[in-house]
A and B are shown apart, each in its own frame.
Chain A
Amino acid sequence: MTPLLVVDDLAVEFPMEGGVLRAVDGVSLEVGQGEILGVVGESGSGKSVTAMSVLGLVRPPGRVVRGSVRFDGEDLLALPARRLRRIRGRRIAMIFQDPMTALNPVVPVGAQIAEAIRLHQPRLGRAAVRARVLELLASVGIADPADRYGRHPHEYSGGMRQRALIAMALANEPDLLIADEPTTALDVTLQSQVLGLLDTARRETGAAAVLITHDLGVIAELADRVAVMYAGRVVEHGEVHQIFTTPRHPYTRGLLSSRPGLASATGELVPIPGSPPDLLAPPPGCAFEPRCALGAGRAACRTKRPEPVAAAGGHLSACHFPGEPA
């Protein structure tokens, strides 16, 4: 079966004062039907920009300089804006991090969801659209949808807003959901509710999803496969159990061990030293080398950029010395 979404060698640049910032630098990803791909990375790793380019939402002066994004056989980057609009919101839907900025504050929530439906199904009658919105609101666990329909975003709590956004994303039964940090702005108890909701939606509609997050807990909870991003590149890519049990890239290992484990006794945390590189002047070799215990001045790491290499089970890592113990 061909994958639903294939991102191949994508590169995105932003001209800045001090030069050109390459936010995404040769990213390749695949999402199969009904599959959840977790994209994990820290701020500035390029994970959100990757998602934005899939939807053609990179704002000028930022631009895609290389690569392709194939969705169900069509290259989205080559599509005219009008055709892309027909896919966006219908076949591919997006859930943003902050529900307050993603919703229009002066339009009732019900009308906003109705608009999303009418845009793509203009023939649907008023009553049918309203019935569908009520059904959607109920399906994401919003009590008394008939009352909630006419209310404005500020009358919703944070958790309800995020649920309303999910309802809106599901409105046209998309094949692919892109969720950018969908739980980051939420409290713990709401986080688990929203994750449960995404999981249910996926199982009921069979939609595939790209789940972008900095939170390894969210990945552990939901993802089937994981891409770990660092400095605009995918440094490791594999099945979720592989990533958590036998991580091969030193950055992934560093991320996993720097978490304050809920089970661990109070001791020292193991941080990754230093901070991410300046993308305006990235190191010539491996971008992680300056922070890597494994690299530690080895010539290959300092001079040559590691390309992704596959190990058993399609487990990719872009490291000159993958799997070597630090």
Chain B
Amino acid sequence: MSEPVLAVEGLTKHFPIRTGVLRRQTGTVRAVDGVDLALHPGRTLGLVGESGCGKTTTGRLVVRLAEPTSGRILYGGRDLAPMSHAELRPLRGEIQIVFQDPYASLSPRLTVHEIVAEPLRTQGRYRDGGRERVGELLELVGLSPEHAGRYPHEFSGGQRQRVGIARALALDPRVLVLDEPVSALDVSIQAQVVNQLVHLQRELGLAYLFISHDLSVVRHLCDRVAIMYLGRIVEEGERTEIFARPAHPYTKALISAAPISHPSQRGGRRRIVLAGDVPSPADPPSGCGFRTRCWKAQERCALEEPALTGAGHRVACHFPEDSTTADPGGCYGGKRLKSDARRPDVAGDDDISG
């Protein structure tokens, strides 16, 4: 594989909890707790997890919208983590972000032209053919340059998201962090934007960090997938590996919970129902973060934190799923999964544990 264009090592973000009149620190939220990731040119890494797992914070750290508590962000042979704002400024254009909500992330008072031109202006690159550049960018994302004088409210959600993408591309980035870029869009529009992202990547050789909770979009778009739980990566590997042979119990539960695509699959898939709720990142469990909800947890899981190990397909679990028992065809494909029915660790569809 090619050299990564950007890599993070041991990335950590702790938010202090302050209480009382004196705002004394009484605790710490471990939002991101030692994350390692590598992004490659022309490739997409999916970062998947449920709300509060730290995936958005990870994205914001990568573009340095948030200050890491510790860890390294390696880009072009330099570590971005300790850099000051002044030092970062010339590099800002190379690592850009597209936000989830195309309604909140575009100023309603600026025209589309002004929105897309803003990064060019702040970097002093507008004077030199900025107007033409904005037109090019709008065309690149499938918008008509004639619409540049309109305001965001005159556009639909999908079109606004394209404006957000054009803005992110203005400074010729090499890395694009996409934080749930299609989650707020309707299905038919989602597909338009997803296709657009694929085309842009091919054309510009961009490295994507695609943050999402939607497994079907991740499976469609990503080359590699990292699963995050309680601030840590619990599993990471090639897309096909992760979906066909999930090794971490959490990954397995997540995949089993994805909605079916045809009514004929009803009752066919065995749902793994996780007990309880995600623990608070202010007070994570000892050892493995997932052990409080894991059906395989043993004494060792409470004592010892599992490291993310393996080559290619990495997993952080003391008792990973045995690849021989996994369904080789994956959980999908319209086939009924009978093999799991007799397994005691897999609950039926209707079981609810609170």
Q: List 13 A-B contacts (CB under 8 A).
A: A192-B273, A193-B273, A196-B271, A220-B262, A240-B263, A245-B262, A258-B188, A260-B220, A262-B215, A262-B261, A266-B239, A271-B190, A275-B189
B254 and A266: CB pair below 8 A? no
Residues of chain B within 8 A of A218, CB atoms compared: 259
Given A216-B261, A258-B190, 14 additional A-B pairs, CB 8 A: A42-B189, A141-B354, A187-B51, A188-B254, A217-B261, A220-B260, A221-B259, A221-B260, A244-B264, A259-B261, A260-B220, A271-B189, A275-B158, A275-B159
A154 CB to closest chain B CB, in angstroms?
13
- Tell me whether A193 and B265 are in contact (CB under 8 A): no
Contact (Cβ within 8 A) B349 A196: yes
CB distance from A326 to the nearest CB of B (A): 14
Contacts of A189 in B (CB 8 A): 50, 253-254, 257, 273-274
Residues of A within 8 A of B276 (CB): 143
Alpha-carbon distance A271/B351, docked complex (angstroms)? 36
**Interface stretch (choices B108-116, B191-199, B314-322):** B191-199
Residue of A nearest to B333 (CB): A263
Asked whether, in the complex, the Cβ of A263 is within 8 Å of the Cβ of B271, the reply is no
A255 to B157, CA, bound (A): 17
Chain B residues in 8 Å Cβ range of A140: 352, 354
Q: Mark B231-274, 1 if CB is under 8 A from A, else 0.
A: 00000000100010000000001100111111111100001011
Closest 8 CB pairs of A and B: A217-B259, A271-B191, A141-B352, A260-B220, A272-B188, A141-B354, A187-B50, A42-B186
Closest B residue to A157 using CB positions: B277
CB distance from B222 to the nearest CB of A (A): 9
Give per-residue flags for A252-264: 1 if the beta carbon is below 8 A from chain B beta carbons, else 0.
Answer: 0011001111111
Contact with B along A190-228 (1 / 0, CB 8 A): 011100110110000000000000111111110100000
Residue of B nearest to A243 (CB): B263
B2-58 interface (Cβ within 8 A of A)? 50-51
Which residues of chain B in 308-347 are interfacial with respect to chain A, using CB atoms and an 8 Å cutoff? 330-334
Nearest residue in A to B239 (C-beta to C-beta)? A266
Interface residues of B, count at CB 8 A:
54
A203 to nearest B CB, angstroms? Answer: 9
A269 near B263 with CB under 8 A, answer: no
Q: Report whether A160 and B277 are in contact in the complex, using a CB–CB cutoff of 8 Å.
A: yes
Partner of A260, one of B158, B191, B239, B278: B191
Residues of A within 8 A of B (CB): 42-43, 140-143, 157-160, 163, 187-189, 191-193, 196-197, 199-200, 214-221, 223, 240-241, 244-245, 254-255, 258-264, 266, 268-273, 275-276
Q: What residue in chain A is nearest B222 (Cβ atoms)?
A: A266
CA distance A275 to B239 in the complex (A): 31
Q: Is B353 an interface residue (CB 8 A)?
A: yes
Cβ of B104 under 8 Å from chain A: no
Contact A262 B50 (CB under 8 A): no
Give the docked Cα–Cα distance between A217 and B265 (Å).
11
- Minimum CB–CB distance from B75 to chain A (whole Å) comes to 27
**Are the CB atoms of B191 and A270 closer together than 8 Å?**
yes
The listed residue (A197, A217, A263, A276) touching B352 by CB distance below 8 A is: A197
**A220 and B261: CB pair below 8 A?**
yes
B156 at the binding interface (Cβ < 8 Å): yes
Give Cα A163–Cα B354 distance, bound, in whole angstroms: 10
Residue interface mask B85-96, A partner, CB < 8 A = 1: 000000000000
Chain A residue contacts of B277, Cβ below 8 A? 157, 159-160
User: What is the bound-complex CA distance between A48 and B166, given in angstroms?
Assistant: 33
Min CB gap A261→B, angstroms: 6
- CA–CA, A223 and B266, complex, Å: 11
Q: How far is the CA of A311 from the CA of B354 in the complex (A)?
A: 45
Q: Do the beta carbons of A187 and B213 come within 8 Å of each other?
A: yes
